[in-house]
Amino acid sequence: MGMSLGIFGTGYAGLVTSVCLAQLGHTVTAIDKDPDIVASLSDGTPTIHEPGLRDLLAANLEAGRLRFTTSAEDGVSSSDILFLCVGTPPRADGRADLCQVEEVARTIAPLLDGYKLIVEKSTVPARTADWIEWTIRRMAGSEREFDVASNPEFLREGSAVRDFLEPDRIVIGADTERARALLLGLYQGSFDCPIVVTSVTAAELIKHTSNAFLATKISFINLVSDLCAELGVDVATVARGVGLDPRIGGHFLNAGLGFGGSCLPKDLSALITVAEDNGVDVAMLREVERINTARVDRLLAKVERALWVLPHKVIGVLGVAFKPDTDDIRGAPSLAIVPRLHGAGAILRIYDPIAARNLQKLYPPDDRLTYVESAFEAARGADALVILTDWEEFRSLDLDRVRSLVRTPIVVDGRNLFEPARMRAAGFEYESLGRGETGLRAEPQRVRTVLITGAAGFLGSHLCDHFLKRQWHVVGIDNLLTGTAGNLAHLADDTRFRFRRQDVTKPFLIGDPVDLVLHFACPASPRDYLRHPIHTLKVDSVGTLHTLGLAKAHQARYLLASTSEVYGDPQVHPQPESYWGHVNPLGPRSVYDEAKRFAEALTMAYHRSHGLDARIVRIFNTYGPRMRAGDGRVIPQFITHALARTPLPVHGDGRQTRSFCFVDDLVEGIYRLATYDGLAGEVFNLGNPEEITLLELAETVASLVGTTLDLVHLPLPQDDPARRRPDIRKAQAGLGWTPTVSLPDGLRRTLEWFASTTPAQNFRVPA
């Protein structure tokens, strides 16, 4: 049974909290003083950019679980628990400004009409709850029943919805049994994660300490990056080597321009003042602040060194948000860099996918400052490009096109997005932070070659594209049993790509040097491997033996494409790499899962016996453009039938769950696993950890197509798993990889591709 909850404040934390608590089945009343904000949210229009938020907002408004109001009285009277989610911005002296917190406390006090639990969700200094209680008690009187608790949020902008619905921990600070019981009742039935129950003051301190530690980690790696620059080594390699230690982990070890946003700088400063007020030496935390502030000066020094004279130089600025996937510019390096470049006389052409409008409010356009609509417009005629935000869009830029547009091929990268060797090969003078000497004077490196088997398949063709964009030469091999030449047609004129029609179960040689072998040949959909069972077994036995021998002969690195099917119908959720699986070795599906198990064993035998640098990727459900309409996998089936306005075929009752990863995310993870050093003999899960039932997937596809949901239920295939979800913590720590494309966004892209390439009338419901 859901609770009745009131949320004061609909800013970042307040809006995400309101929507997600409603999504969990609670009745939520969100209160904001601004009638325009209330009207916008009531119409389903979010006031912040956050992936997935708009859809959940609309769904919960429609379901009647969520409403917005300007009436505090309405919110208090209808709620059992009141969350304080108002802003606590920094004051000039570094302390948290608690004016809004006090205002809410004074608002609640006269409205108390029975026991209420008042919960701090805002990030506040330790012992703020004492002041809230004192304020309410003074105004409401001693006879009113209430408790004040703390339940800090740990939301990251750009993934806040996922962070709320899939938390890594929940912290409850409560000093009475009644308050503890209410908050435990709110969370225990909905989340399977550690819950830390402690005092109110400890909970308040946990949030500030957490963010201060993350800030410290970032400043530490940035200090190391300065040393790397002096020693001529790459901080990215150092960070990977350090981050593979499980005691340290790879998160927040990305050297660059440092931390920003509304949380880390503010919370670090607030913790410093609290510590100083209590007589604790904060010299270390002061140094964390100093290192972070100095990152802007270091980047600007690189810009001046690259351009010599700044007046009248055209500089394309890529990114102004403090991090990708948000429009938030609070604490962003752009707030310091843009005015300093402009003040030095440079001509700025600024682009950010969504945050430029916020910067424009502070720095309106003039004769030397222009806001443009794409990265390529920013590059046109530029003397240099300066990268301030690590948007994925910038990472995947067509460098040849950029090179043709700029006046001078200079890139100053504050986020270390690119490999220096790739930028040199593309003809750029590339300055980054902590990567050693990377200008055009450096010695050129030999172009690397990758051999990809299964190159004409859905996944193999995307891998060909990705490696070519990263300036590799690619040799693609495929027998075209399930792959199609059309998937590679766009590469026909690329001199760096060669295709060879070859069955890997037959012996073959490659005369040119090969640096990396990716063995991705194998029928992968149930329909294909059940149609070709013997060939499937041969590809993963004989074909694996042939490709391992080729890698050994060339002294090349080797990556085997394995599958989540090795886990069978798993009894452990989510499935970690250490799980041995629960499979039927004699059933129809065994031709695929047992073949992959044998391929894994053979690969590890080569690694142990011959010292081959071999890795294994276990791929969970993947989708995207170039999937075959008739390959039998669920997403192409649902999409093609939805486009044809015919019933969507669902096997069984549709309650079985899967997790779906968009192909662009998967390919980036594969690239990192294949190219990062120090991973020989390792196995990694790659997939999206967000779980969804097939019925929910069918509803989503039908909604995106704009058709009425109509289902036809088919028999459940033998040994079909009830659940499938990857544990990707190893990939997050070792590769710094997490999927970024939401399911609705990925499905839209896939739908567009299917709609543009295949006539809908060709699809019929299977007999």
Return d(Cα 60, Cα 52) in angstroms, integer: 13
Return d(Cα 324, Cα 342) in angstroms, integer: 23
Return d(Cα 85, Cα 26) in angstroms, integer: 17
Q: Is 263 annotated in the active site?
A: yes
Indicate the helix (H) or strand (E) that contains 714.
strand 711-714
DSSP code of 66? E
**Bond prior to 574 in cis (omega within 30° of 0):** yes
Return d(Cα 747, Cα 753) in angstroms, integer: 10
Long-range Cβ pairs for the range 498-506 (8 Å, 24+): 498/474, 499/455, 499/456, 500/475, 500/476, 501/477, 502/477, 502/478, 503/479, 504/453, 504/477, 504/479, 504/539, 504/542, 504/543, 504/546, 504/547, 505/535, 505/538, 505/539, 505/542, 505/543, 505/546, 506/546
Distance of CA 601 to the CA centre of its chain: 32
Planar angle of CA 485, 491, 493, nearest 5 degrees: 120
Residue 433 CA: distances (Å) to CA of 301, 336, 371, 622: 11, 17, 26, 34
Query: 316 — phi, psi (to 5°)?
Result: -90, 120
Give me the count of residues in the chain.
767
Classify residue 114 as exposed, middle or buried by CB count within 10 Å of its CB (0-12, 13-18, 19+).
exposed
Return d(Cα 497, Cα 243) in angstroms, integer: 34
Q: If DSSP codes are grouped into helix, strand and coil, which group holds residue 30?
A: strand
Alpha helices in 406-543 (DSSP H): 420-425, 458-469, 526-531, 533-538
Structure tokens at 92: 């000039």
**Residue 456 near residue 478 (C-beta atoms within 8 A):** yes
**Residue 126 near residue 90 (C-beta atoms within 8 A):** no
**Residue 83 near residue 37 (C-beta atoms within 8 A):** no
Alpha helices in 245-323 (DSSP H): 264-277, 283-307
Catalytic-labelled residue, pool 85, 263, 464, 661: 263
Say which amino acid occupies 534: I
Structure tokens at 337: 């860099």
Orientation of helix 128-140 relative to helix 99-108, angle to 10° = 30
Catalytic residue ranges: 263
